[in-house]
Amino acid sequence: MTVRQLLEQRFSSLSAGDYAAVYDSYHHAAPFLQQFSSRSTYVRFARQQLSEIEIKNWHCLKQRPVAEFQLEVLLVMEIATEVGTQFFYELALLIETDSGWRYHSAQKLGADDYPGPPSQIDFCNFNNASQKIRF
């Protein structure tokens, strides 16, 4: 699976509510799997917490290698919730495996963290963020 295929599969699965496929896209060493050790636990959580969010659009703006078999991708998503539409940003770490690329974790920024135009967000916006938590 290529980087593009992984991202397309994740976003189409999120949009379709196929949370099992989202769970399966994680790398086996992802911190996420410490919180959700089983697919069924995550699917129940996601149905409760994510089903009201609509991904209207997404783009991979940039990517950069960080180590051998590791890549960071800068993603922008336009999401709609019951309060309106907003932009959401991710700096995702992807790891290449024998089965292709897998999602490891991401640092996330909301519209409050980056109020500028989505096309102008850059890696430095994540470097300068006050909280560098990766999920």
What average pLDDT does the structure give for the chain? 92
In angstroms, the CA 72 to CA 83 distance is 30
- The domains of the chain, with CATH numbers, are 3-127 (3.10.450.50)
- Percent of the chain at pLDDT exceeding 70: 97
In sequence order, the β-bridge partners of residue 80 are 54, 85
**Residue-by-residue DSSP string for 21-83:** HHHHTB-TT-THHHH--SHHHHHHHHHHHTTT-EEEEEEEEEEEEEETTEEEEEEEEEEEETT
For residue 75, how many other CB atoms are within 10 A of its CB? 21
Residue of 114, 68, 69 lying closest to 91 (CA atoms):
114
pLDDT of residue 8: 96
CA distance 40 to 76: 28
What's this model's pTM, rounded to 2 decimal places? 0.91
Residues 79-113 pLDDT 10s: 998 889 999 999 999 999 999 999 999 999 988 88
pLDDT digits (tens, 9 = 90+) for 2-19: 999 999 999 999 999 999
- Tens-place pLDDT, residues 52-65: 899 999 999 999 99
| Nearest residue to 20 (alpha-carbon basis) of 40, 2, 35 | 40
Q: Tell me the chain's radius of gyration from C-alpha atoms.
A: 15
Q: With cut-offs at 50, 70 and 90, classify the pLDDT of residue 132.
A: low
